[in-house]
Structure 1
Amino acid sequence: MSLPSKLLIAFSSLLLAHACYSAHEHSLLSTTTPSSSPAASSSSASSTTAGSAPAGSSLPLDMTLETLFSVSLLLLGLVLSGWELKPISLRAYAGMLESGKIQPDGVIGGKKGRGVFDALEERPGFLDIRKQRKEFTEWVKLEGSS
C-alpha cells in the first residue's frame, strides 16, 4: 500500500466516524427534544406509540452528504491500495514473462514454472498410459519367463 492511499483511507475513516457520531447525536436529540405545542405532542405521541418514527427524525442533508462522501473516499482509497493487475491478453502476459518483467506464480511438481504452458507439459495429475503399458509388458515378460 502506498502512502497516499493509506492517508486517504485514514482520512475517510475519520470522516465516516464523524458522520456516524453526528447521526447518532441527531437521533438522540430528535427523540429527547420536547414539542413546542400540546397538539403536536399528542400527535407525535400517538405516532410513536403506533411504531413509526417521530416526526423530524430524518437526517439533515449535510450528514447524508458527509456519509456518502466519506464512503466514496474510503472505497477510492481501498481501490488505489490494491495490487497491480496482470494483463488480460495472453500474448502480453507471455511477453512480460519472457522479458522477465514479471515472475510466474505457479509451482508445478516442485519446480518453478518458466513459461505460460509449463502446467500443460508437466501434467502432474494425469496417468501416463504408455509408461504403464510398457511396465505391464515388461512384467508379463518377467512372469512368463519364470
Structure 2
Amino acid sequence: MSLPSKLLITFSSLLLAHACYSAHEHSLLSTTHPSPSSPASPSTSPSGTTTTGSSLPLDITLETLISVSLLLLGIVSSGWELKPISLRSYAGMLERGSVFPDGVDGKTTVRGRGIFDGLEDRPGFLDIRKQREEFAQWIKTHGDS
C-alpha cells in the first residue's frame, strides 16, 4: 500500500467520522428544539410522540458523499496489480515464470510450470503404463520357470 493511498484513506475516514458525528448531533438538536422552518405545532406520530420531521442539512450530506467517494478511491488505489482476465495470458505469465505476490509480509514467489502443476505432480497416482512395463520386464526375466 503506497503512502498517498494510506493518507487518502486516513483523511477520508476522519472526514466520514466527522460527518457521522455531525449527523448525530443534528438529530439530537432537531428532536429537542423545533426547527425554525417548521410550524409551531409539531406533527404527532402514530405512537403518540412528537417529531419535528427535519431532514439532514445539505453540508452534512455532501460531506458524507465526498468522504465515502474519497474512501473508495483510496481503497481501490491501494490494491494489488490486477491479473489478466483471459486464462491464456494468465497461464502464459505463469509458464514464463512471472513473479506473483504471496500477500504475506510482502514476499513474492516465482512459479514456473503453469497453472496445472497440481495435475502434473500426483503423489499416490497409480501409473498403469509403468506397472505394465515393469510386469512385462519381470515376465521376460523370470520366463516360464
TM-score by length of 1: 0.66
CA deviations 1:8-47 (Å, max 9, x no partner) are: 10010011011001101100110111577xx833x43x33
The one of the two structures with greater contact order (alpha-carbon pairs below 8 A, sep at least 6) is: 1
Where do 1:124-139 residues align within 5 Å? 124=123, 126-130=125-129
- Alignment partner, residue 119 of structure 1: 118
Paired letter, 2:25: E
> Residue 61 of structure 2 aligns with which residue?
64
Gap change, CA 1:6 and 1:113, over 3 Å in 2: closer
Equivalent pairs counted in the alignment come to 129
Q: 1:99-118 alignment to 2 at 5 Å?
A: 99-103=96-100, 114-116=112-114, 117-118=116-117
- Counting aligned pairs with the same residue, the percent is 75
RMSD: 3.6
The CA deviation string for residues 45-89 of structure 1, in whole angstroms up to 9 with x for no partner, is x337446x7224311122112111111111111111111121223
Larger % of strand: which? Answer: 2
With over 3 angstroms needed to count, the CA separation of the structure-2 counterparts of 1:31 and 1:100, relative to structure 1, is same
Cα gap change, 1:35/1:48 in structure 2, threshold over 3 Å: closer, same or farther?
farther
Unaligned ranges ≥5, structure 1: 106-111, 139-144
SS at match of 1:40: coil
Q: Unpaired segments of 5 or more residues in structure 2? A: 103-109, 139-144
What is the TM-score when the length of structure 2 is the normalising length? 0.66
